[in-house]
Amino acid sequence: MSHLDPPPHPASPPMPARGRISWASVIGFGTLGLLWPVLRLVRLDAVIGDTGTALVALVATLLVWILGAGFGDVPRPVLTLTLSGVLSGALVIATTVLVGEWPDYGVGLNVTAGGIEVARAAGLGALAGAIATPIQRTRRRRA
């Protein structure tokens, strides 16, 4: 290269393929299911109550999901956040069982309650993905 050649441009990071799922995003967003148990371990529920703690965890998780997927250009945000919700719900169940706070109503009711929890979290993930999608589209139009 001679001194007259322009310097090479730095390589831009590769854009994720639109058809693929970012499993790193699924795992990253899904681990926010640990937020509620962590808030309980630090005894936030003693300060603002069980309902307040649940609302703080829910709102914080939804905000991170929506803003992270919307502004982070996560591919297929609805599917990614739905899968993140499944992981999040499973983590909530696992941590609740591990710390001994899951009530024992028998196998049938416990499996049903677990399924409802996972479905609820998956539904919230799908909702967050549906909100993040227009954010992504708006950002792409402006770019």
The 10s digit of each residue's pLDDT in 30-59 is 999 899 889 988 999 999 999 999 999 999
Burial class (CB in 10 A: 0-12, 13-18, 19+), 60: middle
Instruction: Give residue 22's identity as a one-letter amino acid code.
Output: S
Domain ranges of the chain: 23-142
pLDDT at 60 over 60: yes
Q: Coil, strand or helix: which one is 9?
A: coil
For 100-128, what is the mean pLDDT?
A: 91
Place of tokens 């790193």: 24
Give the pLDDT score at 96.
87
Q: What is the pTM of this model?
A: 0.81
